[in-house]
Each structure stands twice: as structure tokens, then as C-alpha cells.
Amino acid sequence: MHFPWDWLCLGVLIISSVTAGMENEENLDADVEVENFDKQSQEADVDREKSSLEVVYQTPKPTGEVYFTETFDEGLSGWVLSVTLKEDMDDNVAKYDGRWEVEELKENAMPGDRGLVLKSVAKYHAISAMLTKAFVFDDKPLIVQYEVNFQKGIDCGGAYIKLLSSSNDLNLEYFFDKTPYTIMFGPDKCGEDYKLHFIFRHKNPKTGEYDEKHAERPDIDLKKIYLDKKTHLYTLVLKPDDTFEILIDQTVVSKGSLLENMIPPVNPSKEIEDPTDKKPDDWDERPKIPDPNAVKPDDWDEDEPAKIEDPDAVKPEGWLDDEPQYVPDPNAKKPKDWDEEMDGEWEAPQIRNAKCETAPGCGEWVRPMKNNPKYKGKWRAPMIDNPNYQGIWSPRKIPNPDYFEDLHPFKMTAVSAIGLELWSMTSDIYFDNFIICSEKEVADRWAADSWGLKKLVASANEPGMFSQLVTAAEEHPWLWVLYILTLALPVGLTVLFCWPGKKSDEYIDFKKPDVSKQITKGKLKEETEEFEDDELEEEKENEDTDEDERREMEETKRDLIKDNTEKMGREASVSEGEGGEDISDEEEENGVPDEEENEVPDGSQEGDRSNKSDSEDEKKEADEGMGDRPLKSVRKRRVRKD
């Protein structure tokens, strides 16, 4: 049975069309922003071909209670540059003289949308601003959100912010690295160490000292985010139930508990090692020791060297003993400005001896070294289990005198200012759209009106799919192999299943009976006469054979009847049926057929006549058909006796 390839090809085309449609729908869905985008943002998302200049930017406005917002569209109003110096450093280096500017993005900019840009390289930068109102950690969440764009990538530097602790002596002009802060949050990178900081300073309730608690590293590849030169949205959410979430572009990349996922832990251990406890002098920590009963074997020679000269080595023929490997360059000349008093006697530079290049070697021939079969090295006693092993010693535990339990580390020191204190080896780091609030909906709406538009413009100006694939292949050349296989597979399947191929001989033979052959009346008459002649010859041969067989059967039958008559006279008491069985048995033994078999020759003759009649009928039908029907082969069955 031959597979319906046409249907298979049609199915492949249908599946390809459906798959392409699904991919297009997924791509469109992926471009739609998360939530709360206004009508203008959605329309900009649909029309991908519009230029960024056609997007009408409006400075976002907060829709709820906020503690701080900043878009920089009106400049640096309210921000204070630091004029102090870093401690324990040279005055020329310790200055916070890094330059800040308010500019539009270098790429995918929207008219009227500006941000704070770090401009200097290898300098300290410090700038800060007071919050609209201080945030107190009580029963409301804290949400901090802002945008960062590493417009030139990032080599070594940070883009994190600090929420400065409230205090009566807080002076923003003297903001520097030692200014007390409550939370530090944001990206940082140096070398190949990519970080996303979340640090909070926790106050020890017993000592009153502050310790930095670092969140565990997020399980995400930050390298691509930091180096793609796109604007990304960073969000920190702290909740009164002592949990936190860190989001990049409104996607959670890390979350946990302030009690369980900070390093070091907020609450210290209940027990500590006793600092006064010391290990006893006789404490044995060795699990294995040399066997004291082991003796060095008498044939162990520690003086045998590891390598010896090979006594079987032979100097190669043609070795030039008198030729050095290097000779002075005959073409070299002493420089004109060479001063022998200052530079010493001039010597030509050495070059390889040309004669050594065609010879096996030059100089004094030395036998090569080989491993010494007698070498055993320094003898050492084998190791055995230490019977006095006491395990690894550790000091005893005592109650921690500094132990405390803070069940609600969320209750941190209130914050009243925000600041950026940075050092960077890369310039043009872009900051924009800061917001500090307590409601996630307010932060999401703020992001939709600001970062959401930036993302839409950047997406509209991105190169096409083909350009992106080529760029990716340039970064990872192995992708070319994947592209070729991806394109060759559907083409190969299409050619294999849909291209018309040469039909096999078996298939042609199978189809032959379905082809009608037109036969003329004269040709049909000739073939019919030839067939009748062959049939008459076969009938004649069959009649002669049947006549001989009939005579033989009659003679055999007369002999059997004669013998049976004599036997039946002697055994009159034997039943006639038994005698019939004997006759039948003897007939079977002598190969005489029964009555049915005897009738076979007659039947054969009748069959011959019947076949002949059939042949005449077929001839008549063929004449009537006049070649309209194919010639049918008629074979006469022979009835032969086994």
C-alpha cells in the first residue's frame, strides 16, 4: 500500500502555517506591557513602525501617596552636590568632584524626557536630596524604584542608591561614604563580578551598634542586563511581615525573609565557642600514622638516581661535533652611534648555524637520559590507623553573652533623604524616575507612564529579526550551524515527501492491468484461431492417454473379480460387507481407484467439451466487443489422475 504523500505535504503546510501564526501571536503578546499601561502606551505598542519622535512624552505624575519622586525633567532642583572629602585618602583623590548633568538618552530618546547622568571617569561622585516626608518603618511597606541605563556598558562602577538615616545633624553638603544610611540598593559591577545590592543596617538592641546585612545573591545572569545598553527598572519591596522582593523590569529576581536570607543573620547564635578553651597538649588529631613496626627492605637503595644515561643510545650519523649551534650574523654591522666606552665592545647578534639545519645536530653529543629501573626513591613506612586518634578538637560551647532576638527587623531606622555616592570607570550612567512609596499600584502606574514608554520606543527602534540573529551569531559563531540546520530541515523534508520521484518497476507492473489495450478485430481473430489449434492438440493427447488408462483399468478389474469370486465361494459365512472391505483394501494396495476415480476419465472428456464450448463463447464475445474490451486469457484446466 502506497502512502498518500500529497496528504502528508498538505498536513506539513497546514502545521507550518499554524505554528507561524502562534509565534506571531506570542511575539505580539510578549511586547505588551505587564499591566496598568494607559491607552497611549498600548497604541504605541501596536504601531511598531512609528518613530520614537511621534511618541508624545508627558512628565509622569504620582497617583497616590508618595514619599519622594524625581523625573529630572525640570533639572536638578532640590538636589545638593557634596563638597566634602573621603576620609583616609589624599586630598587630590578624595574630592567628590565628579560631574553630573541632566540630559536625554543618547539612544531612543523622547523629547522632553531627561535624566541624571554621571559624566566623569575615575572620580568620586556624590549628590543627594531630601524626601518629601520621612519614611517610618511601622505598618506600611516600603517600595523604592528607579531606572538605570549603562549607555556605554559598565567596566567597573556602581549605580546603587542609599536611603540616608534620619538624624538631626544630617547635612547633605557633607554627604560621603561614611554618612549613616538605612538601605543601599542597586546594581554594581567590577571585573566579572556582577552584583545587585540590597543591604540594610541593623541596630543591635543590646550594644546599639549597626551591622550591615546583605541579601543573598539573586539567581539570575546579570551580565546581559548590565551590558545591553538598555534602560532597566529596579524595584525593592520591603513588607512589614519581614519579607522582601527584588524586581528587574517588573519581574521578581530575588525574594526572601529578613530573618533567614541575610548574610550574616540578623539574630546571632545562642551559643558561641569559648574563647578561653585551649586544646590539650596530648590531643592526637592524626587519623593515620606511620607503622612503627615497618622496616626498610635490604635491597632498597635510596641513592639510586631517578634518571640515568641511556647506554644503548648511539650518536646519529652526520652529527657535527665541531659546529656550534649559533654563530655571529655575518651580515650584521655595528651601529654608527655605538660608543664602545659607554656601550662596551660591540658583538654581532647570534643566529642559527645554517650547517646545523641539514645535519642531525651540532655541538658536543650527549647521551640522552632515561628512567632508572632501579630507582625507588626515599623509603617511607606505610600508614596505619592511629590507635590514639581522638578526632578534631573544637572548643566547648558557652552561652553567647551578646545574644539577642529581633523578631521584626523590618522596623529599621527611619529614612529622610536619598543619595548617590559612586565611583566609576565608565561615564554616561543614566538615572531617572525615582519614586518611594508604599503602594505597589502607585509604583506600577509610575513605571507605565515612564519606563514603559522608554521600552516601547526602544522596541520600535530595534533592528529586525534577521539583524538580531546575525548579531547573535557574530557573538556566538556556533549559532550559524544551528541556523543552517533549522533552514535545511524543512526544505529537506519538503523535497523528500513532496517532490515527484521515479516510480518503481513493481508499482508499474501493479498498474498495468488497469490500462485498456485496443485490439483490432483481425488481430483478435488470429489469436483466437491459434488458441483453438493449441486446444485441439491438447484434447487429442488427452483422449489417447485416457483410452490407454481405461483399457488397463478394465483388465485389472476383470482379474480382481475372478479372484474374489473364487474366494467368496470358499468363505460363504463371511459377510458381504467385510468382503467388500477386503476388496477395497486390495484395490488400495494394488493402486486401483474406486468408482469415483474410474469416472474421472469420463469427466475429463466432459470437461474438454465444456472448455471447448467456453472457448467458442469467448470468441463470440470477443467478436461482438470489436476490441472495446481487453483480451482475457483463458486457461483450460486439466484433470489428471494422481
Domain range for residue 446? 66-270+408-461
The half-sphere exposure of 263 on its side-chain side, counting CA atoms within 13 A, is: 5
Q: How does DSSP classify residue 503?
A: P
Domain-located, residue 113: yes
pLDDT of residue 237: 97
User: In Å, how far from its chain's centre is CA 61?
Assistant: 44
Q: How does DSSP classify residue 362?
A: B
Cis peptide before 601 (omega within 30 of 0): no
Domain-located, residue 450: yes
- R_g over Cα of the chain: 53
| Sign of the Cα pseudo-torsion (402, 406, 409, 411, in order) | negative
User: In Å, how far from its chain's centre is CA 101?
Assistant: 43
Q: How far apart are CA 642 and CA 634, in angstroms?
A: 24
pLDDT of residue 540: 63
Name the grid cell of 3.
502512502
Q: How far apart are CA 217 and CA 238, in angstroms?
A: 17
Least Cα distance to 149 among 220, 90, 227, 83 occurs for 227
Domain-located, residue 166: yes
| Sign of the Cα pseudo-torsion (167, 169, 173, 174, in order) | negative
pLDDT of residue 519: 53
Q: Under a CB-based contact definition with an 8 Å cutoff, are residues 289 and 383 in contact?
A: yes
Q: Under a CB-based contact definition with an 8 Å cutoff, are residues 200 and 412 in contact?
A: yes
- Phi and psi for 564 in degrees, rounded to 5? -70, -30
pLDDT of residue 553: 79
Domain-located, residue 537: no
Stated length of the chain:
642
Domain-located, residue 488: no
- Phi and psi for 146 in degrees, rounded to 5? -160, 170
pLDDT of residue 55: 73
Q: How does DSSP classify residue 174?
A: G
* CB-based contacts of 524-532 (< 8 A; 24+ apart in sequence): 524/622, 524/623, 524/627, 524/631, 525/623, 527/631, 528/618, 528/619, 528/622, 531/615, 531/634, 532/615, 532/619
Q: How does DSSP classify residue 584?
A: H
User: In Å, how far from its chain's centre is CA 241?
Assistant: 39
Amino acid at 124: Y
In the numeric block, the cell 647521551 is attached to 367
Strand partners, 243: 257
Q: How far apart are CA 462 and CA 339, in angstroms?
A: 65
Low-confidence residues in the chain, pLDDT < 70: 1-54, 463-464, 468, 499-547, 564-642
Q: How far apart are CA 447 and CA 251, in angstroms?
A: 13
Domain-located, residue 422: yes
Domain-located, residue 457: yes
Least Cα distance to 81 among 188, 171, 164 occurs for 171
- Phi and psi for 481 in degrees, rounded to 5? -60, -45
**CATH number for the domain harbouring residue 202:** 2.60.120.200
Name the grid cell of 472.
547573535
pLDDT of residue 26: 43
pLDDT of residue 482: 82
Domain-located, residue 625: no
- Phi and psi for 178 in degrees, rounded to 5? -95, 0
β-pair type (161-165, 415-424): antiparallel
Name the grid cell of 197.
545590592
Query: What is the domain count for the chain?
Result: 1
Using H for helix, E for strand and C for coil, what is the string for 538-575? HHHHHHHHHHHHHHHHHHHHHHHHHHHHHHHHHCCCCC
Q: How does DSSP classify residue 396?
A: P
Least Cα distance to 421 among 74, 89, 94 occurs for 94
- Give the model confidence (pLDDT) of 390-419 as tens digits: 999 999 999 999 899 999 999 999 999 999
Biggest CA–CA distance in the chain, Å, is 161
Least Cα distance to 419 among 191, 10, 81 occurs for 81
- Give the model confidence (pLDDT) of 190-204 as tens digits: 888 999 999 999 999
